[in-house]
Structure 1
Amino acid sequence: MSAISRRYDIDWVRVIAIGLLLIYHVAIGFQIWGGMIGFITNSEPWGALWTPMTMLNIWRIPLLFFVSGMGVYFAIQKRNWKQLLKERAGRILVPFIFGVFVIVPIHVYLWQSYYHWDLSYNANPSHLWFLGNISAYVVLLAPVFFYLKKHQEGRIVKGIKKVLSSPLGLVPVILAFVAEALIIDPIPFELYAMTWHGFVLGLLAFFFGFCFVLSGASFWKMLLKWRWLFVFVAILLYVVRFIEFESVAPGYLMAIESNLWIFSVFAFSYKYLNRPSKVLNYLSQAAYPVYILHMVFIYLGSLIVFPLEIAVPLKFVLVLLFTVLGAFAVYEFIIRRMKIMRPLFGLKVK
């Protein structure tokens, strides 16, 4: 991204979304079902913690897919398709492969050790499945994106800009996600990892994220104008979901609510966060390596903290702090400073 076109609010959204991901993953360790999806779980659950998590879990991952599509828009402004594929392979595919064979085995080992199981490992992406999906989306959608770039003054691009300059233009966007939920019928809706639901939903979000930035200022001004309506309806749907459906509403309602939360996040971020700062510059560089590393420190923190005879909320805070401080320490003192490590975590070699 050039200094002129850089959108600091989008950088902030990515950083915040990864921060929410850390909190969410730590919270899973305090749910009775956490062990069923490969997490170390505390012997005493904290059920109330999951109430706010049910609000987050239907939009935190789709939000990252939207942001990733936005990132590709900026990336292709100075690249041809070969350069894009090469750059994204280095930034996404290399850390993905490295993670599958180096990072994931570490937290799998910690998990198996905690439960005194025999040690074994079959290569799998674990939490890095997101990177595998993004790599596929870049390849699948690159022809479409470069066509739109080449025909900036064409009817299709002008049509996209015109449609997305109105709040009614968001209806087709929402309907695409509703259709995905109705056709695939995911159970549960928030199960994105290594499912067709997660793949198709991510593909849609990636594409529309690109289109949102392509649409220019008129789209963002429209979001800003209607932001309070988006957040009000999102809260209303969440309350209905929580009261009427015990947090598990039909997929089509979850899809609508998810999109409204995402529109709200983008709108408020555009209003308040679109400015540079040294903190953002640091966090935007650190976010990717921290994402790759965080599961190792969640499992290591769980292994240390869960056996302690202390209050459950304090355990949550301690594991979260251990995860954040541990991942940032490795980033700051090892990854950031060693040339050989930087490309393995998606950073440019200085």
Structure 2
Amino acid sequence: MSRVPISRHYGLDWLRVAAFAILIVYHVGMVFVPWGFHAKSPNGADWAVLPMLAVNAWRLSLLFVVSGYASRALLSRASHTGGFLRQRTARLLVPLAFGVAVVVPPQSWVELVTQHGYAGGFLSFWVHDYFRFGALGGIVLPALNHLWFVLYLWLYTLVLALLVIAVRWRGAQRVFDRLFAGPALIVLPLAWLVCIHAWWFPMGYETHDPAHDAMAHMSYLPAFLFGFALAGSAPVLAACVRWRWAGAAMGIAGYGFILAVELVLDGGAPRWVYPLYGAAHAVQQWGTIVALIGFAERHWNRDAPVRQMLTEAVFPFYLVHQTIIVVVAYWLMPAGLPGGAEFAVLVAATVAGCLLFYQLGRRIAWLRPLIGLRPLPHPHKAAS
């Protein structure tokens, strides 16, 4: 594979920052919808599902596409594939271990206290119950929770490294460029996603257990590899620009069908609707991703002073945001706030808590690797 460095794409940096910002708001929304979550508000409402479904189909697939793109840039700067894999392993698995051991436990404790009648305090739970490597109240401990994304990203990076070693990438890149520079950019991924959501797993759910999550792997691994190939393909980026409005129309149409089903059938869809619902999910998913990449390439590929800080802060924000949401939601339960006020407090507290976590962690040398940041440069190297 060529080691020509991949230039930074500021548009995809902005897209990554925006996707994680949406994720924070989405996880705040999880407190209010009837879906399972670690903390539930007394202000929950069925209608809150409707805005959540506007992003549910594409938010995670987009993150894997952008992560694949970034992986290509990192690999192009590495001296060899093994070095790339070691660097990514340290940057992903060290924060994952820290997150599972330190960041996630409050989420599990709140869930057990509020939904399963657990009577112990947090410190007692953390010391005596959390590291049991078994189930408590139906919850497997220790827990990955939202950090499944980091584990999957590392697993896909491992697959990528093996493919880089095994495949003649110059030839594979040419095939990708020719294939996806035309209408196949829309048709082939959409056909694959329709098979997943309408045929193989209609109305299926991800488990976030890597050994038993075929639906997620069949969707996210190709998205990650697509992003990797996209990073070396000017023709396919140009195709995303050409198809951006068609993709936006697909995304709106797919969401419109899903919205109609939810409103008309009130969540009680008969089984014959499942394949149609799944196909609409696929249309919304891929159309929105193509549109967003096209807009990022056409309109957002420019730098700004705040971009570097935001792109560095994304991983620490992701690491801690859900714990802040769950703990603050738990504290707010007795307050009796109206739903709108509770939502606003949760969003503000989460952003403030994430920013504090990042600003403190980036200044402490031994904490930086634990929250996914590069080590501080050695003083002698910095001086030179």
TM-score in terms of structure 1 length = 0.90
Q: 1:279 aligns with which of 306, 310, 313?
A: 306
1: CA distance between counterparts of 2:363 and 2:204? Answer: 41
Deviation at 1:86, TM superposition (A): 0.4
2: CA distance between counterparts of 1:348 and 1:103? Answer: 19
RMSD (Å), alpha carbons: 2.3
| 8 A contact 1:230–1:264 mirrored in 2 | yes
Name which of structure 1's ranges 248-257 and 56-65 shifts more when overlaid on structure 2.
248-257
Deviation at 1:348, TM superposition (A): 0.4
2: CA distance between counterparts of 1:161 and 1:236? Answer: 28
Q: 1:10 aligns with which of 2, 9, 12?
A: 12
Give the letter for the 1:280 counterpart: R
Which residue of the partner structure matches residue 227 of structure 2? 209
Q: 2:162 aligns with which of 125, 136, 143?
A: 143
Distance of aligned partners of 1:318 and 1:78 in 2 relative to their CA distance in 1, 3 Å threshold:
same
Which residue of the partner structure matches residue 20 of structure 1? 22
- Structure 1 residue 315 corresponds to structure 2 residue 342: yes
Distance of aligned partners of 1:31 and 1:280 in 2 relative to their CA distance in 1, 3 Å threshold:
same
- Structure 1 residue 160 corresponds to structure 2 residue 176: yes
Deviation at 1:336, TM superposition (A): 0.8
| 8 A contact 2:255–2:284 mirrored in 1 | yes
Which residue of the partner structure matches residue 186 of structure 2? 170
Deviation at 1:113, TM superposition (A): 4.1
2: CA distance between counterparts of 1:186 and 1:343? Answer: 40
| 8 A contact 1:107–1:299 mirrored in 2 | yes
Distance of aligned partners of 1:173 and 1:9 in 2 relative to their CA distance in 1, 3 Å threshold:
same
Which residue of the partner structure matches residue 373 of structure 2? 347
| 8 A contact 2:246–2:287 mirrored in 1 | no
- Structure 1 residue 193 corresponds to structure 2 residue 220: no
- Structure 1 residue 133 corresponds to structure 2 residue 134: no
- Structure 1 residue 243 corresponds to structure 2 residue 260: yes
- Structure 1 residue 117 corresponds to structure 2 residue 118: yes
Deviation at 1:131, TM superposition (A): 0.9
| 8 A contact 1:192–1:199 mirrored in 2 | no
1: CA distance between counterparts of 2:165 and 2:73? Answer: 12
Distance of aligned partners of 1:151 and 1:327 in 2 relative to their CA distance in 1, 3 Å threshold:
closer
Give the letter for the 2:349 counterpart: F
Which residue of the partner structure matches residue 85 of structure 2? 85
Distance of aligned partners of 1:3 and 1:157 in 2 relative to their CA distance in 1, 3 Å threshold:
closer
What fraction of aligned residue pairs are identical, expressed as a percent?
A: 26
Which residue of the partner structure matches residue 135 of structure 2? none
| 8 A contact 1:69–1:206 mirrored in 2 | yes
| 8 A contact 1:186–1:197 mirrored in 2 | no
Structure 2 portions without partners, runs of 5+:
120-124, 131-140, 268-273, 377-384
| 8 A contact 1:58–1:258 mirrored in 2 | yes
Give the letter for the 2:8 counterpart: R
1: CA distance between counterparts of 2:332 and 2:177? Answer: 52
Which residue of the partner structure matches residue 63 of structure 2? 64
Greater Rg, structure 1 or structure 2?
A: 2
2: CA distance between counterparts of 1:128 and 1:223? Answer: 30
Deviation at 1:312, TM superposition (A): 0.7
| 8 A contact 2:43–2:338 mirrored in 1 | no
| 8 A contact 1:167–1:223 mirrored in 2 | no
2: CA distance between counterparts of 1:57 and 1:268? Answer: 20
TM-score in terms of structure 2 length = 0.82
